[in-house]
Amino acid sequence: MGKRMSTFRPTQRSGDLVTAIVLFLIGVVWLVGVLDMPKGEFSVPGPGFFPSLLGVALCVASAALAGKVLMARTSVRVPIGNWHIWSTGIVLVVLALLFEPLGFVPSVALFIGFFLKCLAGFRWTTCALAATAAAGAVYWIFSHLLGVPLPPVTWL
Amino acid sequence: METLHSLGQGLLIALTPLNLLYCFIGVLWGTLVGVLPGIGPLGGIAVLLPMTFKMPATSAVIMLAGIFYGAMYGGSTTSILLNIPGEAASVVTCIDGYQMARKGRAGPALVISALGSFVAGTASVVVLMLFAPALAKAMLKIGPGEEFSLMLLALVVLSFVSQAPVLKTVPMILLGLVIATIGMDPFTGYMRYTFGYAGFAEGLGFVPMVIGLFGVSEILTNLEDVASVEAIKPTLRSLIPRWSDLRDSAGPVARGTLIGILFGFVPGISHVVSTFMSYAVEKKISRHPEEFGTGRIEGVAGPEAANNATTGSSLVPLLVLGIPAIPATALLMTALLVHGVQPGPQLIQEHPEVFWGLIASMYVGNVMLVILNLPLVGIFVNLLRVRYVYLVPTILVISVCGVYGVNASPVDIALMAIFGLIGYLLRKFKFDMSPLVLAVVLGDRMEMSFRRALTISEGSVWIFVKSSFSQIFLGALVIIILLQATAWYFGFRAQPAQEKE
């Protein structure tokens, strides 16, 4: 596994600008959310008081960042992501969705199997056997030995 | 005398067979996570966090702290033998440590690194032991107004010492404070920003956030380029350092210890900064600065001592003020809170067994680490021969177990994945994530002290400036801002990355 082709090559400037815009939008969402909350008075601040200050501050700070970025003249390209990186993130989200419905061992076996097949390039049978054995071993260690609550298989 | 008596009590707690075992597990696991790239002390603590729920608070904190300082020892091994820092603080050790290894002097580099770490780690525990009770006594007098000023000072310091420019750090701090407002309002019970999901009533999960931002994002970054590495294997005989090595290292270890201890007190000053500072100092005062980078023992001894000294002193703000200085101590704070122990000025009075048990265990743990690290160095290095494609699912599955174990919620796994991707992008665009995480931890208390102070003073803002403590904190804040503004005005401030490049 060596260096892999990046999916995107945005500039540092555009990355900073997008981040500033996202942060500004979060600030706006916080300010909109505050509208329904009781603000109280200055002597007895309510639940909406502090978040409204933070929302304003975040909007101002992200606007300042955006302004600084827009004034910058030069920028470098930043290589971002490859197939392995995006798929790892997505597979983790899929694992979260399957974790309780399938139970620990089958869902984690699928998760490990994905890496063994796609990253290491093993044969299907090797992947299935190794992944199931590893998932079973982890379940035994964490659930039985260490007492960590993990979802059992209930659908079999 | 009182301190020695308390330490004696602490030793009685730390030396019970069960606590010795937990301390051993902690330092061993810490060394392992320090060796392996992509997991680090944060991931290591988070993974074992659910395991500690059934333990007594003292045993839990002994084990988790063992992971924290154990990781600092482990990181240097791979830096010296493979030129791969196991964790970020060991980056500087690569420079001269690996060059020493290439010249066949890996053994002395490892021994000096371990001994320097032991000396510095022990010295920082002494400082923690002597300094924390006195500071805690003084801090007992502060009210909500002073507490708010103190936390404001911590966040301002954080914004200026961050590795990213201030304009990139301040939004990160504010984002952290904003995230901290998610969940039930502590005063009125009003639900804020939960978007109808009851699972967010307690706030956004801190453990999945930290593991995602630091652990998963590092794994994703490592997936960009994984080169095969050749380890240099020292023999047992070659471990013995020369007399000149010991003599040349004594000064750097002493200076590194002092730098590390001082930097540990400051919020946001990570181990990384103290190691770079120590390296810069050693190079500056050396008679042969041109030889740094070619395998000078001073370039290993100083930074390694600084790294380990920071670990002990960074526990002072956590245990005495309830303010975690770095993300790893924020996780320790989470562990203490889970066990109903509130870190802060009252900790030493209310839970002396936790405080003194931890202090005593750190002496014991440092001895364990020296004994562990030298003979077992070969085993730790061989771990790195395992292909990264096997390590990725292993580390991720362990992280999943740790994250799920806290609340038994699959939403936390999804949060970990999302924060992992966010962390990866933030890393790529050179945003510092530590201020974000620390602001999340401080946000809740900051809001509470702010509202409580205003309620007590019936809306008078003078409560934030009238006491002498507040004046000290706010005075320091003003001085920092003025110094920074002056530095900016005269152009001393480093330019943002994109302009340099």
Segments making up each domain of chain A, as ranges? 12-71, 83-145
Q: Do B397 and A26 touch (CB under 8 A)?
A: no
B18: buried, middle or exposed (CB in 10 Å: 19+, 13-18, 0-12)? exposed
- Which comes out higher in pLDDT, residue A106 or B87? A106
ipTM for this model: 0.93
The CA distance from A138 to A111, in Å, is 13
The CA distance from B219 to B392, in Å, is 7
**Looking at CA atoms only, how far is residue A23 from chain B in angstroms?**
7
The CA R_g of chain A, rounded to the nearest whole Å, is: 24
Q: Do A148 and B458 touch (CB under 8 A)?
A: no
Q: What are the residues whose beta carbons fall under 8 Å from the beta carbon of B371, sequence distance 6 or more?
A: none
The CA distance from B301 to B194, in Å, is 49
Give me the percent of chain A exceeding a pLDDT of 70: 96
Report the pLDDT value the prediction gives residue B80, as an integer from 0 to 100. 84
- Of A14-18, B118-122, B462-466, B487-491, which range is least confident? B487-491
The CA distance from B257 to B282, in Å, is 12
Q: Do B410 and A68 touch (CB under 8 A)?
A: no
Residues of chain A with pLDDT under 70: 1-6, 156
**Looking at CA atoms only, how far is residue A85 from chain B in angstroms?**
5
B177 → closest Cβ in A1, A54, A146: A54
Q: Extract the tokens encoding B69.
A: 């300082």
The CA distance from B22 to B60, in Å, is 8
- Which comes out higher in pLDDT, residue A23 or B490? A23
The CA distance from B290 to B286, in Å, is 9
Report the pLDDT value the prediction gives residue A71, as an integer from 0 to 100. 87
The 10s digit of each residue's pLDDT in A92-117 is: 999 999 999 999 999 999 999 998 98
Do B391 and B36 form a contact (C-beta atoms < 8 A)?
A: yes
Stretch 401-460 of chain B: residues touching chain A, C-beta under 8 Å: 401-402, 404-405, 408, 410-411, 413-414, 416-418, 420-421, 424-426, 428-431, 447, 450-451, 454-455, 457-459
Mutant choice from B21, B400, B422, B455 vs A, greatest count of A C-beta within 10 A: B400
The 10s digit of each residue's pLDDT in B226-247 is: 554 555 666 666 667 788 888 8
The total domain count for chain B is 1
The CA distance from B482 to B68, in Å, is 35
CA distances B33 to B21, B90, B270, B442, Å, are 18, 13, 18, 27
The 10s digit of each residue's pLDDT in B257-289 is: 999 888 887 766 567 778 888 888 898 888 888
Amino acid of residue B83: N
- Which comes out higher in pLDDT, residue B196 or A146? B196
Amino acid of residue A148: V
Confidence class of residue B450 from pLDDT cuts 50, 70 and 90?
very high
Q: Do A47 and B190 touch (CB under 8 A)?
A: yes
- 3-state percent helix, strand, coil for chain A, nearest multiple of 5: 65, 5, 30
Query: Taking residues B175-184, what's their average pLDDT?
Result: 95
Range of the domain at B406: 2-228+236-500
The CA distance from B379 to A46, in Å, is 57
Q: How many CB atoms lie within 10 A of CB B89?
A: 31
Do A104 and A152 form a contact (C-beta atoms < 8 A)?
A: yes
Q: How many CB atoms lie within 10 A of CB B32?
A: 19
A87: buried, middle or exposed (CB in 10 Å: 19+, 13-18, 0-12)? middle
Q: What are the chain A neighbours of B177 within 8 Å (beta carbons)? A: 54
Q: How many CB atoms lie within 10 A of CB B12?
A: 14
Report the pLDDT value the prediction gives residue B196, as an integer from 0 to 100. 86
**Looking at CA atoms only, how far is residue B413 from chain A in angstroms?**
5
Confidence class of residue B320 from pLDDT cuts 50, 70 and 90?
confident
Do B354 and B57 form a contact (C-beta atoms < 8 A)?
A: yes
Q: What values do phi and psi take at B236, rounded to 5?
A: -65, -40
Closest to B99 measured CA to CA, from B297, B294, B302, B381: B294
Do B85 and B97 form a contact (C-beta atoms < 8 A)?
A: no
| Beta bridge partners of residue A40, listed in sequence order | A45
Touching check for B498 and chain A: CB below 8 Å? yes
Give me the percent of chain B exceeding a pLDDT of 90: 23
Confidence class of residue B452 from pLDDT cuts 50, 70 and 90?
very high
Q: Extract the tokens encoding A64.
A: 């300042």
Q: What values do phi and psi take at B344, rounded to 5?
A: 155, -175
Residue with tokens 């041109």: B290
Q: Looking at the predicted structure, is the pLDDT value of residue B498 above 50?
A: no
Phi-psi region of A121 (alpha: psi -120 to 50; beta: other; left: phi over 0): left
Q: What are the chain B neighbours of A96 within 8 Å (beta carbons)? A: 410-411, 413-414, 417
**Looking at CA atoms only, how far is residue B128 from chain A in angstroms?**
31
Q: Do A27 and B458 touch (CB under 8 A)?
A: no
Do B395 and B33 form a contact (C-beta atoms < 8 A)?
A: no
Q: What are the residues whose beta carbons fall under 8 Å from the beta carbon of A72, sequence distance 6 or more?
A: A13, B496, B498, B499
A89 → closest Cβ in B220, B227, B398: B220
CA distances B184 to B22, B342, B366, B444, B453, Å, are 35, 19, 41, 11, 20
Q: What are the residues whose beta carbons fall under 8 Å from the beta carbon of B396, sequence distance 6 or more?
A: A88, A92, A111, B216, B219
Closest to B116 measured CA to CA, from B240, B247, B253, B245: B253
| Beta bridge partners of residue B192, listed in sequence order | B183
- B/e letters for B295-304, b = 16+ CB within 10 Å, e = fewer, are bbbbbbbbbb
Mean pLDDT of chain B: 84
Report the pLDDT value the prediction gives residue B270, as an integer from 0 to 100. 62
Q: Do B417 and A89 touch (CB under 8 A)?
A: yes
Confidence class of residue B500 from pLDDT cuts 50, 70 and 90?
very low
Q: Do B185 and A111 touch (CB under 8 A)?
A: no
Q: Looking at the predicted structure, is the pLDDT value of residue B441 above 70?
A: yes
The CA distance from B390 to A115, in Å, is 8
Stretch 118-177 of chain B: residues touching chain A, C-beta under 8 Å: 167-168, 170-171, 174-175, 177
The CA distance from B354 to A86, in Å, is 43
The 10s digit of each residue's pLDDT in B289-309 is: 888 888 899 999 999 999 889
Mutant choice from B428, B430, B436, B449 vs A, greatest count of A C-beta within 10 A: B428
Inter-axis angle of helices B57-82 and B327-338, to 10 degrees?
Answer: 160
